[in-house]
Structure 1
């Protein structure tokens, strides 16, 4: 079974809490234990579980509204942001993150029907993450200062319905 993206379910939480992040990723992302409480009760944020061969392999958030707009130089009501991508250390380097990001054009419109593009930010000290996103079709559209240094703002246009 290949990589899949599914909306976060309560049944995923124990496995997500047991994920181990690679030490070099700790400055750049949130562990699911930090992200899960932030997602509860926020209608503009959706948790997405990454499954690899049917097993929980990671988590990220999709966000609209203020959670997304903070990454942009001007407001875009049709943008949705990816944040806090975390992949279990045992599955890193195997293409799981790239495969997950390549599935966004199918998942995002199902969760956010008005979305026309996906945006994210990557710390410039994390070139491996930038490569993952570029392989999935994202391009650098801007730069900004983030909490732990300069960041690239990246964007992925979504196909429009005919």
Structure 2
């Protein structure tokens, strides 16, 4: 067991749109991941959102692996609601349906996964210079988790969500080979 404040170093983000034996095995395990009690109104489980991502060429599903074990899931979306929440949608991606199984929360894995998004984002949309997301205002634990993963609130709100008003948050994706905010 990891100490509460330790930062895991064995976190990997694996694209689930590749056709390989490893990907197939991880996909089977990811659909068994669950949301924490009370979180169902804020996000959909991979059992529902993964098949939808498979049919949308703008969405790339991924697994969060901790020491090779699938512990979380998310989707990088190249379209979604980007036109509504960022001034430069062609230079951004949307992080959606992101969650960790409750058994793995509180260990720094989500924070580390957020900080490890850059190579995944670059593989999906090389020209992206930011990751944006919306998080429900009634979900302060998720807001704290995203902040610890490098996201900052933009000051904007998204009102089109099913479960109430959402904060818009962003995280820069530095250009390869250099620092900066793009």
TM-score by length of 1: 0.92
Normalized per residue, the structure richer in strand is 1
Give the C-alpha shift of residue 148 in structure 1: 0.7
CA gap of 1:22–1:159, structure 2 versus 1, over 3 A, is same
Are 1:58 and 2:48 counterparts?
no
Distance 2:84 2:12 in 1: 26
| RMSD, aligned CA | 1.6
Distance 2:53 2:174 in 1: 27
Give the C-alpha shift of residue 56 in structure 1: 0.6
Q: Which has the larger radius of gyration?
A: 2
How many equivalent pairs are there? 161
Provide the residue aligned with 1:27 in structure 2: 41
State whether residues 21 and 89 of structure 1, in contact with CA within 8 Å, keep that contact through their aligned partners in structure 2: yes
What residue ranges of structure 1 are gaps of 5+ in the alignment? none
Distance 2:64 2:131 in 1: 17
Distance 2:129 2:36 in 1: 32
**Deviation per CA, 1:58-106, whole angstroms, max 9, x where unpaired?**
11000012x1425515452111000001211110111111111110123
Provide the residue aligned with 1:123 in structure 2: 136
Equivalent residue in structure 1 for 2:96, among 83, 88, 91: 83
> What pairs with 1:32-111 in structure 2 (closer than 5 Å)?
32-65=46-79, 67-69=80-82, 71-72=84-85, 74=87, 76-111=89-124
TM-score by length of 2: 0.82
Structure 1 consecutive aligned stretches of length 4 or more whose deviation exceeds 3 Å = none
